Amino acid sequence: MAKRKNVSKQKNKGAAKKPPRKVVKLANARRSNGKSNGLPRPSNKPYGQAGKALEGVKILDFSHVQAGPTCTQLLGYMGADVIKVERPGVGDITRIQLRDVKGQDSLYFTMLNGNKRSITIDSKHPQGKRVLDALIKACDVLVENFAPGTLDRMGLTWEYIHKLNPRMIVASVKGFGPGPYEDCKVYENVAQCAGGAASTTGFREGPPLVTGAQIGDSGTGLHVAWGIVCALYQRIRTGRGQKVLCAMQDGVLNLARVKLRDQQRLKAGPLTEYSQYGEGVPFGPTVPRAGNDSGGGQPGWILKCKGWENDPDSYVYFITQAPVWEPICDLIGKPEWKTDPDYATPPARLPRLKQIFATIEEWTMTKTKFEVMEICNKVDIPVGPILSMKEIAEEPSLRATGTVVEVDHPGRGKYLTVGNPVKMSDSITEVKRSPLLGEHTDEILKDVLKFSSKEISEIKNSGALSAPKKEEKAA
Ligand code: COA
C-alpha cells in the first residue's frame, strides 16, 4: 500500500511507532497446531506491533454518499485495504457537496473517506469492466450502496461476481428490505422516519423530529461493517462469500428498539416513566414522543444551567437515579424530600417529576454545566453536560485518545475528522487523509492487479478511466 504522509495515530500506551510489514493471512488462522483450537500460536510481538485487525483484507469499495463510506472507512481504520472505485471526472458526489473551500474536496467527503485509495473507472466501459473484473478477483469484499438495481444494470449481479470469485462477500446498503418499498431511493431522514425514530422523537405537542446523529446513514454503515466482519469470519470455515444486506429502515429500528419495547408495554397500561403519565395526559394506541425523558427506568430531563440565556448549549442532562436520591435532595436544598412519603420512593415521585425537575433546575441554574458535572459526579449522580460541537472540537481529551484527529490534505489543508471510536489494544488505528479523485489509479492497476505497462496503456487509451471530454469541461 502506498505510504501517505499526514498520518495521525490513535493514542495508545505502548503502541509501536511502525506497524510490521508482514501480513497474517486469514486462512492461516485455520492451521491447527493441535493445541489451540485451530488458532496460530499467540504472537510474541509487543501489543500493537502484530499488524492490524483487518490487515490483508481487500475491500472493493463501490460506495458513495454516507452510508457505504462510513462502513468502508471503519474497515480502513481497522487495517483493511479499501479501494474506492469512483466515476471518472465526477467521483463520489459528496466531493462537491457542501463545499467550504473553493474547488477542493468537501468536508462531507474528506471526513467519510479517510484510509482509502481511489481509482477512477467507468463501470459501463468494456475496458472499465475488465478492470472491475480483475478487482473482483483480487478483493475479499465488495461494498455498495447504489439505488436498487444499479449494480445489476452494471452487469455485476451476485451470480456474475460469485462466478468470478466465490470467496467474495457482497455487502449492500439499501433503503428498505424486500417488500413494498424495496425499489425506493432513500436518504438519511427518510430512514429515520421509516425506522420509527422520528415518530418517537420530539415533544408530544410538536411534530415528529429527526435527530442530528446520522443513525440512518452512519448507523447503517456501522451495521454493515459488523455484518462484513462476521461474514469474513464465517468464510474462514466455509471458504465461500455471501451476501450481506442491511436496510436503513432495519438499522434505524435496531437503534430504536426500546421504543418497540414501549409499544408492547402499552398493552399492560400507561408508561409510568414518561412525564406524560405524571401530567395526567392519557396514552393513545402508539408510543408517544417523550421529549427529553430518559429511555430507561431512571427519570431524567434536560435542565438549564448558568448562562443559558445567552448560550444555547448551557444545559445539563440530569438523572434522578433512585440510589442517589438522598444526595440529590441534599444538593438542591430539599433534605425533607428524603423522608417525605410524596418524594421518598420512585413510584411516589413519578406523578411529580415535572415539579421535581423544576426544583432541581433552580439549583442547576446557579452553576455552569461543568460545575454541575463536577459536583454531581463526586456523589455519583449521573449527569451529562450538553456539549456543543465547538466544545467537542476543542476538547483536549478527545484529541489525546485519537477520537478527534487533525489531518492534513494537499488541497484543502488541515481539517478535523472523527478517528476510530473503537480502541483496540493490538490494532492501532492510523487515520489517513482522504484520497484525491483517482489518486491511486496507477498503483492499483500495477501493484494490486498486476497489469503490465502495455495493458495499462491499452486500458488508459480506451478512455475507461478518464472523464469524457464534455464532463472535463463542466468540471
Ligand atoms: N461508472 C459509471 N457509472 C457509474 C459509476 C461508475 N464508476 N458509479 C455510479 N454510476 C452510475 C450508476 O450506474 C447509476 O446509473 P444508472 O441509474 O443509469 O444505472 C448512476 O451512476 C447513479 O447511481 P445511484 O446509486 O442510483 O445514485 P443516485 O444519485 O440516483 O441515488 C441514492 C443516490 C443514495 C439515493 C441511492 O444510491 C440509494 O438509494 N442508495 C441506497 C440507500 C442509501 O445508501 N442511501 C443513503 C445514501 S447516504
Q: Which pLDDT tens digit goes with each residue over 343-359?
A: 999 999 988 999 999 99
What separation in angstroms does the CA of 231 have from each of 61, 82, 381? 16, 17, 42
Residue 6 pLDDT > 50, yes or no?
A: no
Query: Which of the following is catalytic: 105, 140, 217, 262?
Result: 217
Residue 23 pLDDT > 80, yes or no?
A: no
Q: Which atom of ligand 1 is nearest to the CA of 69?
A: 48
C-alpha 279/C-alpha 78 separation (Å) is 49
Residue 16 pLDDT > 60, yes or no?
A: no
Q: Cα(144) to centroid of ligand 1, in Å?
A: 9
Mean pLDDT of 380-402: 97
User: Do 350 and 299 meet the contact criterion of CB atoms below 8 Å apart?
Assistant: yes
Mean pLDDT of 317-322: 95
Q: Cα(393) to centroid of ligand 1, in Å?
A: 32
Residue (of 104, 123, 112) closest to 65 by Cα position: 112
**pLDDT at position 32, please?**
45
Mean pLDDT of 34-54: 89
Q: pLDDT band for position 473 (50/70/90)? A: very low
User: Do 318 and 307 meet the contact criterion of CB atoms below 8 Å apart?
Assistant: no
Q: Is 100 a catalytic residue?
A: no
Q: Cα(417) to centroid of ligand 1, in Å?
A: 25
Mean pLDDT rounded to a whole number for the chain: 92
Residue 82 pLDDT > 60, yes or no?
A: yes
Ligand 1 neighbourhood includes 67 CB (under 6 angstroms) = yes
**pLDDT at position 298, please?**
86
Mean pLDDT of 244-266: 98
Ligand 1 neighbourhood includes 66 CB (under 6 angstroms) = yes
Nearest CA to ligand 1 atom 15: 150
Mean pLDDT of 87-112: 97
pLDDT digits (tens, 9 = 90+) for 157-202: 999 999 999 999 999 999 999 999 999 999 999 999 999 999 999 9
What separation in angstroms does the CA of 28 have from each of 24, 40, 232, 269? 7, 7, 13, 56
Q: pLDDT band for position 39 (50/70/90)? A: confident
Q: pLDDT band for position 7 (50/70/90)? A: low
Nearest CA to ligand 1 atom 18: 150
